[in-house]
Amino acid sequence: MSEKISFKEMCAMFDATPRTLRYYEYIELLSPQREGRARFYGPREVARMKLILRGRRFGFSLEEIRQWLELYGKEGTSAQGIAWVEMADRQLAELTRQQDELAASIEDLRQLRSEVAQKMGIS
């Protein structure tokens, strides 16, 4: 993609609301080109949006994502890669902890359900 896309096209491409794109611009995650009141997004902004959405899916905060994206411009790819590995390690530990808690809750609920069902004479 070498051409600019409109605000509306960007919303449609990423199934994002206009409010979301304006907010991402406000917190400096995205920097569209402006022509009057119109916003246009180039390849850099499309790539950043993909990274933002991926980061959100992995559970990173918008501030963590913003800081990580800034590293590329300030310190380059290597620093950004190192930061990514550190962030991923922290997030993997947190997700694993949550997974363990969820597994314990599921087991507790199954046990309690079984006990109550047995007392009530239902399966």
pLDDT in tens, 77-121: 999 999 999 999 999 999 999 999 999 999 999 999 999 999 999
**Average pLDDT rounded to a whole number, residues 34-39:** 92
The ranges assigned to domains in the chain are 1-57
* pLDDT for the residue numbered 14: 97
CATH number assigned to the domain covering 1-57 = 1.10.1660.10
3-state secondary structure of 34: strand
Question: Which of 67, 54, 71 shows the shortest CA–CA distance to 27?
Answer: 67
* pLDDT for the residue numbered 15: 96
Question: Average per-residue pLDDT in the chain?
Answer: 94
* pLDDT for the residue numbered 2: 57
Question: Which of 29, 33, 2, 3 shows the shortest CA–CA distance to 16?
Answer: 29
**Average pLDDT rounded to a whole number, residues 10-18:** 97
Q: How many CB atoms lie within 10 A of CB 89?
A: 10
**Average pLDDT rounded to a whole number, residues 9-13:** 97
